[in-house]
Amino acid sequence: MSTVTTTDDVLIGADADAVALADRVIAGLGLPADGIEVADPATGERIASVEDIDVGGALQAVATAHEAGLAWARTTPRQRAEVLHAWHALLVERAEDLAHLISREMGKPLAEARAEVKYGSDFVRWYAEEAVRPAGNFREAPDGGASIVTRRAPVGLAVLITPWNFPLAMATRKIAPALAAGCAAVIKPADLTPLTTLFAVQLARQADVPGELVQIVTTSNASKFSETVLRDERVRKVSFTGSTQVGRTLLRLASDTVLRASMELGGNAPFIVFDDADLDRAIAGALAAKLRNGGQSCIAANRFYVQNGIADAFAEGLAERMRDVSVGAGLGTGTALGPLIDDRAVRRMRALTDGAVALGAQLLAGGTELGSAGHFFAPTVLDRVPAAAEVADIEIFGPLAAIQRFDSEAEVVARANATRLGLAGYVFSESIDRALNVADRLETGLVGINQGLPSNAAAPFGGVKQSGLGREGGGEGLEEYQSVRFYNIARRETH
Ligand code: NAD
């Protein structure tokens, strides 16, 4: 049973100095007195307002970025790399400011915000390095008579739409490859967390990214924005990270102008633990894959499948560690789990927990709202979750681990793949053969093998099935902003 209570004193409060630091960064953004309100998820209080840009403003942003993009496309790879290196240096220099800002507007613990700054900055450095790598190749026509040279051209103006859960990393993962490829960008951050994007782009401009090249459109009317902007023929690319539902809408819009599209959508990651797994490693991996960002990550462990021989020890061990997690404001000292993004998310955790318990699941930890303000839910473990429970199959997006049990390798692979989504998967086994065989059969874009944190700027992140199209990170992430062309050079004998 859960040992948590619902009183305020279980929550760690925000550190006043840390809040003051974040607020100094916000004050430096030059924001309007009113507009779209941004709230601190730890308290629900308004911390800033950002401009609510209408369709006319969005089209102006398209025009400005498009014009700047024509000149940027003609810069050399080295020039683009230097600017990106300078941006990276500023992101590193201002890492503490960025981390405090991320915690303040999104709620994640400061230690995780620092990790996001490192991860988000890594994309800028990576694409500074990729910008100067060879962007084409050479081949002979098989029947002779021609040489074929390929090269990559910037795809053109890119519209970038990002979610609230990683406000820096989701933005740099798109802006950096777009700039490296020679494209201009119009970015629409989530209205829940626009401040980090505003600050990061301010730093980009200080680093000599041309002022007009990256335009930010903060708006409360996302659908009007996409309906207008994606139909503008100056736009040649859309890159979206968010829910599968919105992704489908954007793909439909993209079809009107046959827009290049990258879609990083929802996940439903299986986390598979075999009897031969190292128990401590599996529990540590589960905590990382479940609690990072409070479970509000598209690659969060979503469906725990644990083999019968190890299931009791795993469930008890995980529950014990989850009960010890300190919950509080992201800017509180020692906070390991912050608030959820809004009250709707808290109500969802409540309903998923109650629904599973009503069907016979065992509540081993948590299961309660915490605090009287803010959006807190206790780290929760449900064991023996029946397959019929809603929590057994939907994207949970919160600090709730739902454990199901299995017998055989074949069975678990079939259950893991019985979903429309396919972003991440996790396999824990000390047998390298078993781990790789199962990883090969999972219908996902990425697999964490004996580890719960698979993301890396050098890796091609992305999903299969309805989790998305295209890849971000790695060399593949740059190709999303390039179109391949070839020159066919006629050859004939000379004497
Ligand atoms: P969301 O789809 O509601 O919103 C994402 C972004 O799209 C926000 O900026 C939002 O304002 C905007 N948006 C919403 N409707 C729009 C429309 N009609 N036209 C244009 N823009 C629109 O998702 P969310 O709640 O912010 O994020 C959670 C979802 O994102 C989860 O499903 C999660 O799995 C997914 N996600 C995926 C990845 C990935 O890389 N695959 C990463 C992070 C989050």
Answer whether 216 contacts ligand 1 (Cβ < 6 A).
Answer: no
Angle at 93 between CA 23 and CA 107, to 5 degrees: 40
Q: Ligand 1 centre and the CA of 236: distance in Å?
A: 20
User: 403-453: per-residue pLDDT in tens?
Assistant: 999 999 999 999 999 999 999 999 999 999 999 999 999 999 999 999 999
Answer whether 241 contacts ligand 1 (Cβ < 6 A).
Answer: yes
Answer whether 243 contacts ligand 1 (Cβ < 6 A).
Answer: yes
Q: Ligand 1 centre and the CA of 168: distance in Å?
A: 14
Dig out the tokens for 214 from the structure. 């990256």
The reported pLDDT for the residue numbered 9 is: 54
Residue 418 neighbours by CB under 8 Å, 6+ apart: none
The reported pLDDT for the residue numbered 2 is: 34
The reported pLDDT for the residue numbered 3 is: 35
Strand partners, 402: 382
Q: Ligand 1 centre and the CA of 436: distance in Å?
A: 31
Q: Which of 264, 395, 472, 479 is catalytic?
A: 264
Q: Ligand 1 centre and the CA of 248: distance in Å?
A: 11
SS3 459: coil
Which residue, judged by its Cα, is nearest atom 10 of ligand 1? 190
For the chain, list residues with pLDDT below 50: 1-7
Q: Ligand 1 centre and the CA of 488: distance in Å?
A: 42
User: 9-27: per-residue pLDDT in tens?
Assistant: 579 999 999 999 999 999 9
Answer whether 242 contacts ligand 1 (Cβ < 6 A).
Answer: yes
Q: Which of 298, 472, 479, 480 is catalytic?
A: 298
**Which amino acid type is present at position 158?**
A
- Rounded to the nearest 10 degrees, what angle do helices 110-130 and 95-106 cross at? 120
Which residue, judged by its Cα, is nearest atom 17 of ligand 1? 223
Q: Ligand 1 centre and the CA of 242: distance in Å?
A: 2
Answer whether 249 contacts ligand 1 (Cβ < 6 A).
Answer: yes
Strands (E), 355-398: 362-365, 369-370, 376-377, 380-383
Which residue, judged by its Cα, is nearest atom 13 of ligand 1? 222
Question: Distance between CA 229 and CA 317 in Å, rounded?
Answer: 50
Question: Distance between CA 179 and CA 176 in Å, rounded?
Answer: 5
Q: Ligand 1 centre and the CA of 77: distance in Å?
A: 32
Answer whether 164 contacts ligand 1 (Cβ < 6 A).
Answer: yes
Q: Is 264 a catalytic residue?
A: yes
**Which amino acid type is present at position 255?**
S
250 CA closest ligand 1 atom index: 19
User: Which of 203, 149, 151 minimizes the C-alpha distance to 176?
Assistant: 203
Answer whether 221 contacts ligand 1 (Cβ < 6 A).
Answer: no
The reported pLDDT for the residue numbered 373 is: 85
Answer whether 298 contacts ligand 1 (Cβ < 6 A).
Answer: yes
Tally of CA atoms within 13 A in the half-sphere of 258 that contains its CB: 0
pTM of the model: 0.96
Q: Which domains does the chain have, with CATH numbers?
A: 16-265+469-483 (3.40.605.10), 269-456 (3.40.309.10)
Question: Distance between CA 373 and CA 366 in Å, rounded?
Answer: 18
Answer whether 264 contacts ligand 1 (Cβ < 6 A).
Answer: yes
